[in-house]
Structure 1
């Protein structure tokens, strides 16, 4: 994935990002969560995390969760997506997830819960984790007709580079969401992403024969990245 050409929102913002690498911010978040033994409660396919000021600052800086406005001044509440919830438990190993009876869930229990409640969860999670491990900031792409959008750094500093569509790949696989199966759908996706100055990034997730029954199956998954752009004839003509 090409890093050049990011659209920074202000002068000097690229330098600010370089001085504060996202990997270091996430490392600080992981350390804080591990030391404070925080818990988040499942609510449907998302989880709710109560955070005091220091944790709220780290969550905002690392771009995990969506802050919810409440009347409480001392504490803040964050809503974590299903992918963020599992990432903090599985990849960062720094957050305890509890159910409505306040019983902690194991990785396997949370994995099975997410799969039951979100059919495409294994592929979506693998794509999310793939980008996060490369230090991209990953947010929902629903407003652009995509699964995710990927930012080079914090959204306050830079516009997102990619609109991300996740597809399952493999022998005998039938796409569960039917995305990009027709040229008209591909053209629409390209036009939407192009109109908001984003590159369409398609992540093909292949289970490589794994049934996805356990979280450990993720190590057998592979991700192939493909960027798709429109060919503009006027840009390719010789000068007349």
Structure 2
């Protein structure tokens, strides 16, 4: 007996809309500093924070970078809440940037100026070295981050789902995440890892994306520098369980 598939197997990402009435919607994926000074952030040795409220609004509204220090995600200054959350003691909210977000805005987009606690401007080389010291996976994460940004994804931290990133279409205020992203150096370590990652993705109505970061072919164990980042390569693997119901036979 022969069967013919009547439906194409072309992969289509999941784009699930959110309610939009609670937020001021912005679809500009990159901050614009035309006619003004760079945004300013402070790196205290562990965390990168933006303190100025107007900078917080513009950075978050242009690509959903960072999260409110007193919020789960969107800073309170951008939420239209009827009854703001009251804290037991007053704390000024800041915008906390991940290392990848901070480095991308500072080095690649050149819209952010980062100083240390003594108000000294930090160079890209200093931050790159420090971020690698604090997170040994920073190099491969920033390579994957740039790769995803080149495809216009909105990128958020994926810790909640045991991953490196979550990626969204257009804005986190319009769509739910489409992919849970794991950044790896080789194929998934075991079948158990793959099953666990896939179950998490399936239970949250997302797809699973593995990004494998390949170091330069001429890498001889030398220390990675900013100049060598462009020599890295990224390959992607999308994993989705085959759904027999989605296909019909004649």
TM class by shorter chain equals 0.7 to 0.9
Range 219-228 or range 62-71, more displaced: 62-71
Are 1:7 and 2:7 counterparts?
no
The separation in 1 between residues aligned to 2:178 and 2:228, in whole angstroms, is 30
After superposition, where does 1:101-140 map in structure 2 within 5 Å?
101-140=118-157
Whether 2:224 is the aligned partner of 1:216: answer no
Note the 1:10-89 alignment, pairs <5 A: 10=19, 21-23=27-29, 26=30, 29-31=31-33, 35-53=36-54, 55-61=55-61, 62-69=63-70, 71=90, 77-89=94-106
Structure 2 spans left out of the alignment, 5+ residues = 1-9, 71-86
Separation in 1, partners of 2:191, 2:97: 34
Q: How many residues align?
A: 217
Which of 174, 177, 180 matches 1:160?
A: 177
Q: Distance in 2 between matches of 1:11 and 1:154?
A: 11
Query: For 2:213, which of 205, 211, 224 is the aligned residue?
Result: 205
Q: Which has the higher helix share?
A: 1
Distance 1:212 1:129, change over 3 A: farther
**Who is 1:228 aligned against?**
239
Higher relative contact order (CA closer than 8 Å, sequence separation 6+): 2
Indicate if the aligned counterparts of 2:153 and 2:169 stay in contact, CA closer than 8 A: yes
Deviation at 1:108, TM superposition (A): 0.9
- Deviation at 1:127? 0.8
Partners of 1:65 and 1:164 in 2: CA distance: 18
Offset of residue 115 of structure 1: 0.8
- How far is 1:192 from its partner? 0.6
- Aligned residue for 1:208, secondary structure, equals coil
Measured on the aligned residues, the alpha-carbon RMSD in Å equals 2.8
Paired residues of 1:45 and 1:81 also in contact (CA < 8 A): no
1:190–1:200 Cα contact (<8 Å) kept = yes
